[in-house]
Amino acid sequence: MAWFNLEELKKYIRRDNSVLVVWDVQEALVNSIFNKEEFLGKLKELISAARQYNVSIVYTKITPYPERFQNPAFRRNFNPGDIVKEVYPQPADVVLNKNTPSIFVGTNFELMLRNVGITTIVFTGIATDIGVETSARHAQALGFLPVIAKEAVSSADKAAHERSLANLQRLMLVLSNKEIIERWSA
């Protein structure tokens, strides 16, 4: 059971105060998820709606530190690749290079949102149980309204993805594309 009123919170999702975050939709990650085709279809649908309703889109991109400055515990030869071509950013979109599982650590994301009065952050991307959940919880702690687009998030680990959605649903809005798009179109 959630501690909030779902219908009341939905009223705060508007096209003029929202941003769509496309979290780490890079080649290696997309190729590792359990529901690739379904995920990409739902993500494309939400990106298209954001463009239609003039909702800003911010893509994140894993950008490792130079080898010398990587934490030794996390050093590995991992190349996530580029953002997948099916949902590649357009010129008006923002691509935010980041080094941590929170969109707020080491970036100017919070300042960017506060500069233009954005209060609602709709999260999509990979992985639900890592960066999406971490960033959504961080957003909530900073006073933003995080919304998880449940059909447009995924993970390589289906069980972890489902646990994460269940946990997040107790704390914040976890909505279908239809519900999000209805609010943007109002």
Domains and CATH numbers, the chain: 14-84+101-185 (3.40.50.850)
* pLDDT greater than 60 at residue 1: no
Tens of pLDDT, residue by residue over 100-116, are: 999 999 999 999 999 99
Band (182; pLDDT cuts 50, 70, 90) = very high
Asked if residue 99 lies in contact with residue 65, where contact means CB atoms within 8 angstroms, the answer is yes
Please name which of 129, 109, 105 lies closest in space to residue 121, comparing C-alpha atoms.
Answer: 109
| pTM (two decimals) | 0.94
Beta-carbon contacts of residue 44 (< 8 Å; ≥ 6 apart): 86, 87
Q: What would the two tokens of residue 34 be?
A: 């359990």
d(CA 3, CA 156): 30
pLDDT for position 86: 97
Say what the pLDDT of residue 66 is: 80
Task: Tell me the mean pLDDT in the region 2-23.
Answer: 87
Is the predicted pLDDT of residue 77 greater than 80, yes or no?
A: no
Instruction: Indicate whether 169 pLDDT > 90.
Output: yes
Supply the pLDDT for residue 9.
83
Four-CA torsion 92, 79, 111, 184, nearest 10 degrees: 50
Which residue in 69, 70, 44, 66 sits closest to 57, CA to CA? 44
